[in-house]
């Protein structure tokens, strides 16, 4: 893969790491529907699955490779020939195939998972990359649990796999352990100490066990990474992966970081795709989820509502339309003020000249204490309309 240093590549793993969530497995046709939407969203790489893991996953990678022609289609393997052979076969029809192979890099993994030594694991890593390279040009190597690995050993491993042919080197914080500062410093260390690092793209792959996946990914970018691995709605094992919509909107909102024109994402598709993934994977999106949650653009306290009605940007740092949401919402509750009530009454066609706002507001508060949230029907009733007959 010829990489462009002026691009930040968006690598979506909703269909692989995201799909590892218990109870959220997808059929092949469902995966194709999501992949088509990821393609039109503009992601650069779609990780389609882990072909050796099951016949169904193998078939999904085959079908996705046939159906999706623009993004790179990537298949995951462990560092062994059987896994790699299976991925090569599954990717046979891909226009732009990538193999994602790798092995544990922390002493915890080397000792307890593999009962091995640093030297032997490094050899296996190099062998896997060399083997995969015979079949596919674009090879991404993952150093699992790099977040807890010794940086000097990690640098040796990364240098060796690049020399063996890796085009992308993935530095996963597999257990979501790192702080943004330490993760950023790790990427910087590799950038400064791996001699051949410019021959590969550094990829960040962060998990959210401490709620830091997005912050860590951004820290990685700021320290030299060129690819972000993420999932729609941040779904994934345990507390999930870095959320695609969060990183994309951070880069677009903070233009001063200088990354917004290095990505190619049609942000208006974020909200519809979030809903589609949530429904198909039977994973509700939490109401306060950044960017795509039900309340992400809903204002309910009187002070905020008054501010937004005077000038949207007093309490909104993004335009809801930019992420595919028609408009922000002013929710009427017992915390709302007169300004919000007036706004909704006018929206429903009432002329404020004929209404005693103070009096209506007192009646509204009594009803809102009772009903928690006041909808249009409640307002019409409050104003004395018989909604049944209208
Ligand atoms: O979290 C992780 O380390 C992974 C690798 C398999 C890339 O998902
Ligand atoms: Zn992962």
Q: What's the complex ipTM? A: 0.99
How many other C-beta atoms lie within 10 A of the C-beta of residue 385?
A: 14
- Mutation choice for ligand 1 from 205, 227, 228, 239, CB with most ligand atoms inside 8 A: 205
CB 263 within 8 A of CB 8: yes
Give the Å distance between the CA of 82 and the centre of ligand 1. Answer: 19
Give the Å distance between the CA of 328 and the centre of ligand 2. Answer: 33
C-alpha 204/C-alpha 36 separation (Å) is 24
Alpha-carbon distance values, 170 to 21, 181, 197 (Å) = 21, 18, 12
CB 167 within 8 A of CB 200: yes
CB 364 within 8 A of CB 382: yes
Which residues are annotated binding-site positions? 17, 205, 207, 241
The residue whose C-alpha atom lies closest to atom 2 belonging to ligand 1 is 174
C-alpha 95/C-alpha 169 separation (Å) is 22
Give the Å distance between the CA of 50 and the centre of ligand 1. Answer: 11
The residue whose C-alpha atom lies closest to atom 1 belonging to ligand 1 is 174
The pLDDT value given to residue 390: 46
Of 185, 183, 175, 189, the closest CA to residue 204 belongs to 183
The pLDDT value given to residue 389: 47
The pLDDT value given to residue 7: 97
C-alpha 284/C-alpha 277 separation (Å) is 9
Structure tokens, 226: 């060129």
The pLDDT value given to residue 386: 56
C-alpha 263/C-alpha 9 separation (Å) is 7
Give the Å distance between the CA of 95 and the centre of ligand 1. Answer: 24
Structure tokens, 377: 């029907």
- Mutation choice for ligand 1 from 104, 168, 172, CB with most ligand atoms inside 8 A: 172
How many other C-beta atoms lie within 10 A of the C-beta of residue 344?
A: 18
Beta-strand relationship, 201-206 and 72-76: unpaired
Residue 32, C-beta contacts closer than 8 angstroms, at least 6 positions apart = 63, 64, 67, 68
The pLDDT value given to residue 99: 98
Residue 247, C-beta contacts closer than 8 angstroms, at least 6 positions apart = 10, 214, 217, 218, 228, 230
The pLDDT value given to residue 32: 98
Beta-strand relationship, 139-144 and 227-230: unpaired
Q: Which atom of ligand 1 is nearest to the CA of 145?
A: 3
Q: Any idea of the CA torsion for 103, 105, 109, 111, to the nearest 10 degrees?
A: 110
- Mutation choice for ligand 1 from 142, 217, 230, CB with most ligand atoms inside 8 A: 142
Give the Å distance between the CA of 317 and the centre of ligand 1. Answer: 32
Which residues are annotated binding-site positions for Mn(2+)? 17, 205, 207, 241
C-alpha 54/C-alpha 128 separation (Å) is 21
Query: What's 105's DSSP letter?
Result: -
Give the Å distance between the CA of 15 and the centre of ligand 1. Answer: 13
Ligand 1 pocket, CB under 6 A: 17, 142, 144, 170, 172, 174, 205, 207
C-alpha 46/C-alpha 318 separation (Å) is 27
Q: Which atom of ligand 1 is nearest to the CA of 174?
A: 1
Report the phi/psi class of residue 145: left, alpha or beta, with left for phi > 0 and alpha for psi in -120 to 50.
left
Q: Which DSSP string do the residues of 321-346 spell out, in sequence order?
A: GGGT-S--EE-BSTT--HHHHHHHHH
The pLDDT value given to residue 355: 87
The residue whose C-alpha atom lies closest to atom 4 belonging to ligand 1 is 174
Tell me the β-bridge partners of 97.
73
- Mutation choice for ligand 1 from 14, 76, 168, CB with most ligand atoms inside 8 A: 76
The residue whose C-alpha atom lies closest to atom 8 belonging to ligand 1 is 17
Give the Å distance between the CA of 2 and the centre of ligand 2. Answer: 25
What is the distance of C-alpha 276 from the center of its chain? 14
Q: Is 283 helix (H, G, I), strand (E, B) or coil?
A: coil
Residue 313, C-beta contacts closer than 8 angstroms, at least 6 positions apart = none
Low-confidence residues of the chain: pLDDT under 50: 389-390
How many other C-beta atoms lie within 10 A of the C-beta of residue 134?
A: 9
């Amino acid at each position: 893969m010829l990489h462009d240093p002026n691009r930040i590549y968006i690598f979506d793993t909703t269909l692989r790491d995201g799909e590892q969530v218990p109870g959220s497995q997808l059929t092949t046709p469902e995966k194709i529907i999501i992949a088509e939407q990821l393609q039109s969203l503009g992601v650069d790489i779609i990780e389609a699955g882990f072909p050796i893991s099951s016949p169904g996953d193998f078939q999904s990678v085959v079908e996705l490779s046939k159906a999706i022609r623009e993004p790179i289609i990537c298949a995951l393997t462990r560092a062994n020939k059987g896994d790699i052979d299976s991925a090569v076969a599954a990717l046979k029809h891909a226009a732009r195939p990538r193999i994602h192979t790798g092995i544990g890099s922390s002493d915890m993994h080397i000792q307890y998972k593999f009962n091995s030594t640093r030297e032997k694991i490094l050899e296996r890593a190099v062998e896997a990359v060399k083997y995969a390279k015979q079949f596919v040009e674009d090879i991404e190597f993952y150093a699992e649990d790099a977040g807890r690995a010794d940086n000097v050993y990690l640098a040796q491993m990364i240098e060796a796999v690049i020399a063996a042919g890796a085009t992308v080197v993935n530095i996963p914080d597999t257990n979501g352990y790192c702080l943004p500062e330490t993760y950023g410093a790790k990427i910087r260390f590799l950038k400064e100490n791996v001699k051949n690092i410019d021959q590969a793209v550094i990829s960040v792959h962060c998990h959210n066990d401490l709620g830091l996946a997005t912050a860590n990914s951004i820290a990685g970018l700021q320290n030299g990474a060129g690819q972000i691995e993420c999932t729609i709605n941040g779904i994934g094992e345990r507390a999930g992966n870095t959320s695609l919509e969060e990183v994309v909107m951070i880069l677009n909102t903070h233009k001063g970081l200088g990354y917004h024109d290095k990505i190619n994402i049609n942000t208006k598709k974020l909200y519809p795709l979030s809903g589609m993934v949530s429904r198909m994977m039977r994973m509700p999106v939490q109401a306060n989820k950044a960017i795509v949650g039900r309340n992400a653009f809903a204002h309910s306290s009187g002070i905020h509502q008054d501010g937004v009605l005077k000038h949207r940007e007093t309490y909104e740092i993004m335009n809801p339309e930019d992420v595919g949401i028609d408009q922000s919402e002013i929710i009427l509750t017992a915390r709302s003020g007169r300004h919000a009530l007036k706004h909704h009454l006018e929206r429903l066609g009432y002329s404020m000249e004929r209404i005693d706002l103070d009096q209506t507001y007192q009646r509204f508060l009594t009803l809102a204490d009772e009903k928690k949230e006041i909808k249009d029907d409640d307002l019409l009733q409050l104003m004395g309309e018989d909604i049944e007959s209208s």
